[in-house]
Amino acid sequence: MQSENKSGSLVARATQTIHKYFLPLLLASYVLAGFLPQLGLAIRQVSIGTLNLPLLGAINVSLPLIMLSFLLFNAGLGIQVTELVGLRRKPQILLTAFAANLVIPILLIVSSRSLLGLWHSSDELHNLIVGLALIIAMPIAGSSAAWAQNANGNLSLSLGLILLSTILSPFTTPAVLDIFGFMTQGDYAEDLHEMARQGTNAFLCLTVVLPSLVGIATHFMLGDEKTNQVKPTLKLINFIVLLLLNYSNAATSLPQAFRVPDWDFLAFIMAATITVCLVAFAAGWLVARAFNTNKADRAALIFGLGMNNNGTGLVLAATALADHPAVMLPMIFYTLVQQIAAAVIDWWLCRTED
């Protein structure tokens, strides 16, 4: 018993340390990917074969795909069905927020397309737009619930947004990719339309929807007490897998960016990703204002609309767009930006009174 308690305390301390220094560790994983990408590239080559799914097509079951599925399983494990009961009283807020999460970022890019078109390099512009397309097309991040809970947000609303966007992602993601396909040209447009029509449904069902539902079902079968017993260990593994997956994904594009940095392109990406990220967070605040919600609902809406599941987008990009590694740069930047923005907004919410 004493050894079990000691082991549990070690896991808890390790998890707390990684959580406290997650952003520096994320930065370190990107630096490592830029200078020592060999392990990350090797991880990408590991596969257990091809899985043929009826009506959905074939998909390569690679190690990054398995790691992503584990992250989504863990996110589903954190969802209690009983916590979603309160959503019956606020279905209009949930549906409006879900629609805003998709529509507002798309409107931003569509309205600024002419301005973006002034950029001197068409290839760089298309890399940016495709990267933003994959960011916007992804479901809401499971980590948004943790941020919302930390800010005393409405957990049922936060979990409802995650679950709704996850379950509907096989339909919404192809639609968003098709829209952005019409904003690009040549090989980039073809790739977006091809992803929308082939393979994306299988990818999302296998790596996002199914693991999330299995996680929810596992929580239901184990019950709260047993689930809480395994959560600390799974949370520690979750952090390690998340950092390793980010490192592996970044290994395909950052080495070139580190060797021959294109400073104006990187500045262009940074400005665009910061703008899209801030607009996404602001969309949550606008929905909260429109419904005159309380502070708990406002926190859930801001984090829910502001944070997308970039891990899924990065794995999809590395799989389907291997010939355009620069597409991943906006997604890598966005991952950092949304974590920083979430920390700042958490600080602001915790100091704001109704």
Is the separation of the CB atoms in 329 and 253 below 8 Å?
yes
pLDDT tens column, 251-307: 988 998 899 889 999 999 999 999 999 999 999 999 999 999 989 899 999 999 999
Reference 269, options 163, 142, 130, 164; nearest CA is 130
Q: How confident is the model at residue 354 (pLDDT cuts 50, 70, 90)?
A: very low
pLDDT tens column, 34-76: 999 999 999 988 988 877 765 555 677 889 889 888 988 988 8
Residue scoring higher pLDDT (26 or 349): 26
Average pLDDT over residues 103-128: 94
pLDDT above 90: residue 78 = no
Angle of the 210-250 helix axis to the 328-349 helix axis, nearest 10: 110
Spelled out in words, what is the top-level CATH class assigned to the domain 2-349? mainly alpha
Residue scoring higher pLDDT (156 or 180): 180
What residue segments make up the domains of the chain, in order of their start? 2-349
Mean pLDDT of the chain: 87
The number of beta carbons lying within 10 Å of the beta carbon of residue 54 is 5
What token pair was written down for 231? Answer: 């959560």
pLDDT above 70: residue 133 = yes
pLDDT tens column, 204-238: 887 888 898 898 899 889 888 888 888 888 888 98
Q: What is the pTM of this model?
A: 0.85
pLDDT above 90: residue 132 = yes
What token pair was written down for 128? Answer: 């940016």
Average pLDDT over residues 25-33: 92
